[in-house]
Amino acid sequence: MKHYAPPLEKLIEQFERLPGVGHKSAQRLAFHVLSMNKEDAEEFANAILAAKTAIKTCSVCQNLTEGDKCPICSDPTRDPSTICVVTDPKDLIAIERTREYRGLYHVLHGVISPLSGVGPDDIKVRELLERAALDEVKEIILATNPDTEGETTAMYIARLLKPFGLKITRLAYGMPVGGHLEFSDQKTLSMAIEGRREIR
């Protein structure tokens, strides 16, 4: 039994689809939208459309970007000999915040997770291998999360990369095992980058 006017019900349903938003929260958010002035509501709706339309993945590192190449890949001061492989864009941001790392990145957009039906072909592994073949690349840091799926993914990629004869490293366990990069403090992450160890 629907009680609110259909456009309001529909907005509540849309909010309910968002992760972590229950029915009560969805109602609260929808009423908030109604209480916004028209310009603010339009700005909100446009931000959704603009982000969805304008944001692409970088043709080099797969990071989210507006142009074809992301600002980091386009920056001539970054060191192209090192590629830091992360699970998703939030992890890249976490590492950037340490200001410790001056190389490039590669965003996998996921981890290998047989239980969730995510295989190597579902994440950006192939694109990484193409980059690993470039002459300028000397080291690849596998900065997936230090949990089971992150470790599995790192080990899998390390094996694929072996033939390239590169230095392959993993972030030092400066952060707690089972933790997530995204929520690490900057100091811990800095130490983890500094103490990174080679995978032999």
- Site residues (CB under 8 A) for a second copy? 3-8, 10-11, 13-14, 17-21, 25, 27-34, 36, 38, 40-55, 64-66, 70, 88-90, 93, 96-97
Bridge partner list, 140:
83, 168
Work out how close the CB of 189 gets to a second copy at its nearest, in angstroms, rounded to a whole number.
14
Q: Indicate the residue among 57 and 81 with the shorter CB distance to a second copy.
A: 57
Q: Indicate the residue among 110 and 150 with the shorter CB distance to a second copy.
A: 110
Q: Indicate the residue among 43 and 136 with the shorter CB distance to a second copy.
A: 43
Q: What count of Cα atoms within 13 Å lies in the side-chain half-sphere of residue 176?
A: 7
Work out how close the CB of 184 gets to a second copy at its nearest, in angstroms, rounded to a whole number.
13
Q: What's the CA gap between 148 and 101, in Å, rounded? A: 25
Amino acid at 192: A
Instruction: Please give the angle made by the CA atoms of 197, 131 and 57, to the nearest 5 degrees.
Output: 105
User: H or E segment at 10?
Assistant: helix 6-16
Strands 139-142 and 167-170, sheet pairing: parallel
Of the candidates 92, 108, 192, the one whose C-alpha atom is nearest the C-alpha of residue 149 is: 108
Q: What's the CA gap between 47 and 49, in Å, rounded? A: 5
Q: Indicate the residue among 27 and 152 with the shorter CB distance to a second copy.
A: 27
Work out how close the CB of 49 gets to a second copy at its nearest, in angstroms, rounded to a whole number.
5
Work out how close the CB of 112 gets to a second copy at its nearest, in angstroms, rounded to a whole number.
18
Q: Indicate the residue among 98 and 169 with the shorter CB distance to a second copy.
A: 98
Work out how close the CB of 199 gets to a second copy at its nearest, in angstroms, rounded to a whole number.
28
